[in-house]
Amino acid sequence: MPTRILDHRRISLIVERFAVSAREFIPSHLSLVIVGIEPQGLLLARLVSAAYAKRFGPTIPVLSLSLPKRQPTLQAVRAPEVSLVEGKAVLLADDVLNSGRTMAFALAYILQYAPALVKTAVLIDRDHKEFPIAADFCGLRLATSLEDHVRVELQSTYGAWLE
């Protein structure tokens, strides 16, 4: 039976904290864009952008990055235009950081286009790294077994479940 690990209220607080952290830790002289790794990272990116706009005024552009999840490569399925990333501060968002594989390939893809700075944000970090990837902004660090699955829902019902 699934165990709820994050509810709507906690996710909203985490999203708000990500928006504030982006304001605090990304130099104000840089233009900021949020790149969300599809599908759930894109939804998280949109939530962070909305929270940022509500609190600080300007809307942060949200860009979508789609990589093959089972075997990520440097060939994106869908990706932002180079000019939208080049010279900018990028907040790379995803829902769950598990092995680090998807985040590593997303980061490698984005670095091809010369951003000025990249920070990472994940809702849940499972700490099963196979790649040297760390989340700069993390909502919840969760100790799990390799057999466990974390399901995140950020559309109609906000929540995260350990299955």
What are the 10-residue block averages of pLDDT along the chain, 163 residues in total?
Answer: 94 98 94 94 97 94 84 57 86 94 90 94 90 94 87 92 94
- For residue 10, the model assigns a pLDDT of 97
- For residue 66, the model assigns a pLDDT of 86
What φ, ψ does residue 156 adopt, rounded to 5°?
-75, -40
- For residue 128, the model assigns a pLDDT of 81
Q: Which domain holds residue 44?
A: 3-162
- For residue 146, the model assigns a pLDDT of 80
Cβ atoms of 15 and 8 closer than 8 Å: no
Pairwise CA distance, residues 114 & 154, whole Å: 30
Q: What is the pTM of this model?
A: 0.91
| CATH number, domain containing residue 86 | 3.40.50.2020
Residue 131 carries which side chain, given as an amino acid letter? F
Rounded to the nearest 10 degrees, what angle do helices 8-25 and 40-56 cross at? 70
- What is the number of structural domains in the chain? 1
- For residue 34, the model assigns a pLDDT of 96
Cβ atoms of 89 and 121 closer than 8 Å: no
SS3 category, 92: strand
Residue 24 carries which side chain, given as an amino acid letter? E
Could you write out the three-class secondary structure of 3-53? EEEECHHHHHHHHHHHHHHHHHHCCCCCCEEEEEECCHHHHHHHHHHHHHH
What φ, ψ does residue 44 adopt, rounded to 5°?
-60, -45
Pairwise CA distance, residues 87 & 46, whole Å: 21
- For residue 82, the model assigns a pLDDT of 62
- For residue 145, the model assigns a pLDDT of 83
